[in-house]
């Protein structure tokens, strides 16, 4: 599943639903856009009560592994900030 907010980048979460580990990938929405491997970005994950479950900063590259082992079943909001864009997706944990 991928989300598109009209920006230059989109987020995909796979597998989704997750039962242990999910890979978050940031993909350019157009062939004209080059992903900057040197740009640092960050991820925040919120639970259904909108409490911050996990925050990871200073990420590089287009993929980040999210370990969901031991998380409660439910829907989590994953928000990534890459350059000046906020990307958001829903991650289902079984």
21-77 pLDDT, tens digit each: 999 999 999 889 989 999 999 999 999 999 999 999 999 999 999 999 999 999 999
**Sign of the dihedral defined by the CA atoms of residues 80, 86, 87, 93, in that order:** positive
Q: What angle do CA 26, 28, 32 make, to 5 degrees?
A: 160
**Residues 85, 7 contacting (CB under 8 angstroms):** yes
| CA 64 – CA 87 distance, rounded (Å) | 14
Q: What is the DSSP code (8-state) at residue 33?
A: P
d(CA 23, CA 13): 6
pTM beyond cutoff 0.85: yes
């Amino acid at each position: 599943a991928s989300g598109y907010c009209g920006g230059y980048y989109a987020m995909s979460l796979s597998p989704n639903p997750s039962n242990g580990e999910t890979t978050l990938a940031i993909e350019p929405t157009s062939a004209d856009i080059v992903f900057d491997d040197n740009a640092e970005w960050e991820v925040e994950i919120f639970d259904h009560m909108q409490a911050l479950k996990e925050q990871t900063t200073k990420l590089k590259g287009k993929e980040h592994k999210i370990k969901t082992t031991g998380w409660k079943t439910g829907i989590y909001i994953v928000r990534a900030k890459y350059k000046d864009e906020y990307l958001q997706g829903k991650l289902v944990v079984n």
